[in-house]
Structure formats: C-alpha cells, structure tokens
Amino acid sequence: MRHVRRRVHRLARLAAACGLVCGGVMVSSAMASENSGRTTAAPAGVSGASASSDPSALGTRMVSRLGTSRTAGSWIGSDGRPVVAVTDTEAADEVRRAGARAKVVAHSMDRLRSATETLSAAPRVPGTAWALDYASNKVVVHADSTVSAAGWSRLSGIAKGIGGYVETERTRGAFTTRVNGAAPIFAANGRCSAGFNVTDGRDDFVLTAGHCGPVGTTWFQDGQGAAPVGTTVAGTFPGSDFSLVRYETAGSGTRGGPGVVDIGGGRAVRIIGAADPGVGQQVFRSGSTTGLHSGKVTALNATVNYPEGTVTGLIETDVCAEPGDSGGPLIAQGLALGVTSGGNGDCRSGGTTFFQPATKALEALGVKLADPASGTGAGDDDTAAARGQSPAGAAAVPPAVPESPGLTGSPGAQGSAGGPASLSEIVNSRTLAPGLAVIAVSLLALLATHWIRTSQDRRRFRSSYSQNWG
C-alpha cells in the first residue's frame, strides 16, 4: 500500500512539474504575441509589420481574400484573437485554417454597405450618425437629443424599410465638432489641438481637423496672438475632416524632434508610423482640453451628420473628448491613426468620439509624417497604411515637446535617453490568464503533495518512535 501511495505522489509531482512548464510556455507565448503587436507597424499593415503576428492584419487579410460578398468585416475579440464574419461554412473553414475565429452571419458586407448608401441618399437629418457594427452584423443608426420627433420618425421609417438588420437608437447629448491636447492652437474663431507634424519635402505643416478653420485661418500658440504658429493652406470639411497648417517659420515642424506627440504634463511619446486601426483595438487620444484618454475602436467607415454638414469614412470610438480637443491625435502602438473630428458626451460621463483616419488625410493632402530621426519627410514610401510607412513624426507646435519621463500606470513604455518614450499598448491580461492559471494550479498541486508527503513522514516517524521507546 505504501508503494502505491509513493507512486501516486510521484505521478502527482510529475504532473504538477509539467503543468509549471506548460504554464510558463503559455505565458511566454502570450507575452511574445503582445510584444510583437507593440513593435510591428500596424493593424492595417505598415512597412515591416508581420501579418501573422498582428491579429487585426490577419482579419483584414482574410476579408480581402474572401471578398465583401462572403464576409462582413473583422474585429479583435475579447481574447485578443481576430474574428471574421463570414456568410458560408466554406469561408468559415478557410478562416479557421488561417488561425482566426469565424462567425457565420446572415448579411454580407455588400448588403450592409447597401443599407448605408440608402441612408445617405435620404434627406439629411442633422444630429444623426450610423456605422457598421461587425459583431452584431447590423447597421446601427444613432440620433442625438437635437433630432426632432419628425426627423426621428422619418429616419426610423427609412431604417425599417431597409430591413431588420438596421437598428435605430437614441443617444445622449449632441453630435458636434469639438472646436472652441497635443498642444493647443488658437484662432479668432476658437481653439483646436495640433495633430501630427507633416511635410511635403519642402515645407512643414501641422495636420489637424478641417472644421477647425477654413483656408486662410491664422493660428497662434497663445490666446493673445503673440506667438504665431502658421496659416491653414489646405483642408476639407464637410465630406472629410482634415486640414494643413503651414508653419510660419521654416523648419518649425522639425525643430526639437518632430516624431513625438504631447500627452500633457510635460510628457510625450514617440510616433513610428501611420496606420488604419481595427475594430476592437485599444487606442489613445490626446487633446489640449482633456489630455490623454484611452478606449477602443467600435466601428469603421462611420458617417456623422454634424450641424455643419456630413462627414463620412470616420473611425468610431468610445474614447471621450471635449471642445478644444478637435484635431488632436489618435494613436496606438506608436502609430498615428487619426485626428479628432467630433462626437457627443464628455470625459466625466463618457461618450462617442469620431476621428478622421490619418492615412486618408495624408494621402489626400500629399504629405508625409515628419521623420523623427532626421527631421525630414519619412522618405519616398507613402504613409497610406496599405503602402507602408517609414518611422514617422507627430504633433507638437514649437517650442519642442519636453522629453518624456515615461508613463506609469497607463499605456507607456520606458523613456529613452535619446528622446521621448514610445507609447505601447498595455499587455492584454486575458491572453496571459490561461497560462497564469495553469502555473497557479500546478504550484498548489506541488504544495499539496509536499504537505501530504511530509505529514505521512511525520506519522511514520511517530509510529516508529512509539514502538521503539514506548
């Protein structure tokens, strides 16, 4: 009987030891995956990025391969894995073989886009917005508090006529542009935030929101107009929401390290490229009013009917913003994703904020992010995500943004001796949880077997002692 117990104990210890090894491997793999996500260029593919290590890129690649008639978007699941919505089981099998999760849905991307085209063709109702909700396979239409009963009835009727996959809902507050950081820039009609430093190879510019001011608007670093920044020389609003402010002094956009974004409190983070985000991705927004805030991308290609006009192709997020944050940068993993357009709510109660994608603005304006290393353009590679992006620069109006001491308790990476810190995403605890759980159970098993063995040894010793000396 004693030999049987010893054998059981040995097997238990062996199983616990194997569990520790397996748990360690699982944690190491999860950490490697997270680190890969931080150092690769971007969700939509920036130069040097590895699609196999980037969940968002894998989902995008599968959607591109299968086509919009067999898919309905992709997103990052709560476990950090890419999820692709597909319309048939064969497509689902192909997605799984590629390493992503598949969700079979009823409506293709073509059908969802057809619904948004119908909504866009209807008479415009200011205070409304819509976007594709990939996870629910629906088009979600929002109406803010400014929409009248008649307008709401008309919009609901259009949605009902399209089909049950178009969902309508009321939302708090009002969808407004955020005029009225990243560093603040001032004009006669209000205040905005600088987005990213860019260049066309000859002149230096600030990329910011188009609604901040029309061509010819003069910007200053202070509200008194004593320190000029530059003048708006190009822009689009409505339709899109971006503009270029040419620096007053040549070289202002590259002096002091252009490849950084001011996040408040004398801190800054380095920008290494530009990309398009993925649904479910964690992102960070900085603005001159509210500073740094984080959240997730909730939808892409959103349409918003601001009072001033309709803007399409926006990034929808649950990050908060307030007046004055307009034009400020949206960033993640050291990448430029967009500039703040508008939304509703505030940073006390929360809300929805929309962003103009940076890649589309850069391509339309014919500029590149400034190179943080050389203080020049980012090279001949275009900054559109699909075409790759060299290490890039970002927002700060002169004087130069102070060197970052590093971020603690938030998405920061370590500061560097050579310049501002690099902003990385927080390690996803969900990806580490399985490995940590295996390690914890294995340690408990080892402790339990050790305690049992020790207890049995003590009992045998007492029994032997009592027989010899009793």
pLDDT in tens, the chain (470 residues): 556 566 666 766 677 677 666 666 665 655 544 443 333 333 333 433 333 457 788 999 999 999 999 999 999 998 889 999 999 999 999 999 999 999 999 999 999 999 999 999 999 999 999 999 999 999 999 999 999 999 999 999 999 999 999 999 999 889 988 655 457 888 877 889 989 988 898 988 999 999 999 999 999 988 777 788 899 999 999 999 999 999 887 555 444 345 677 776 777 788 888 999 999 999 999 988 898 999 999 999 999 999 999 999 999 999 999 998 999 999 998 899 999 999 999 999 999 999 999 999 999 999 998 765 544 454 444 333 333 333 223 333 323 333 332 232 222 222 333 333 333 333 345 556 676 776 777 777 767 777 776 666 666 655 654 554 44
- Using CA atoms in the order 150, 152, 157, 163, what is the torsion angle rounded to 10 degrees? 180
Is residue 344 a contact partner of residue 322, using CB atoms and an 8 Å limit? no
Token look-up 């008639």 returns: 69
Q: What pLDDT, on a 0 to 100 scale, did the predictor assign at position 84? A: 97
- The active-site residue out of 108, 326, 390, 424 is 326
Backbone angles phi, psi at 325, to 5 degrees: -80, -10
- pTM higher than 0.85, yes or no? no
Token look-up 């009002």 returns: 174
Q: Please state the separation of Cα 3 from the chain's center in Å.
A: 59
User: Cβ of 189: how many Cβ atoms within 10 Å?
Assistant: 12
Q: Residues 6 or more apart from 191 whose CB is under 8 A from it?
A: 179, 180, 184, 185, 223, 288, 323, 324
Measured between alpha carbons, how far is residue 347 from residues 173, 282, 285, 292, 352 in Å? Answer: 13, 17, 12, 11, 10
Is residue 259 a contact partner of residue 392, using CB atoms and an 8 Å limit? yes
| 337-359 as b/e: b if 16+ CB within 10 A | bbbbbbbbbebeeebbbbbbbbb
User: What is the C-alpha separation between 197 and 217, in angstroms, rounded?
Assistant: 18
Residue 326 falls in the annotated catalytic set: yes
The DSSP bridge partners found for residue 193 are 184
- Using CA atoms in the order 24, 416, 277, 434, what is the torsion angle rounded to 10 degrees? 10
User: What is the C-alpha separation between 335 and 411, in angstroms, rounded?
Assistant: 13
Q: Angle formed by the axes of helices 55-66 and 89-97, to 10°?
A: 140
Q: What pLDDT, on a 0 to 100 scale, did the predictor assign at position 445? A: 73
Quick one: which of 250, 165, 179, 174 has its CA closest to 209?
179
Is residue 60 a contact partner of residue 98, using CB atoms and an 8 Å limit? no
Quick one: which of 307, 338, 305 has its CA closest to 321?
338
Relative to beta strand 282-287, strand 273-274 is unpaired
Amino acid at 60: T
Q: What pLDDT, on a 0 to 100 scale, did the predictor assign at position 266? A: 73
Residue 144 falls in the annotated catalytic set: no
User: What is the C-alpha separation between 243 and 236, in angstroms, rounded?
Assistant: 6
Is residue 324 a contact partner of residue 194, using CB atoms and an 8 Å limit? no
Q: What pLDDT, on a 0 to 100 scale, did the predictor assign at position 435? A: 67
Residue 241 falls in the annotated catalytic set: yes
Amino acid at 40: T
Q: What pLDDT, on a 0 to 100 scale, did the predictor assign at position 392? A: 29
Q: Residues 6 or more apart from 315 whose CB is under 8 A from it?
A: 277, 297, 299, 300, 302, 330, 337, 338, 354, 355, 356, 357
Q: What pLDDT, on a 0 to 100 scale, did the predictor assign at position 27? A: 57
Give the pair of three-digit tokens for residue 374.
């050389």
- The active-site residue out of 241, 262, 325, 382 is 241
- The active-site residue out of 211, 288, 371, 382 is 211
Token look-up 């299968």 returns: 66
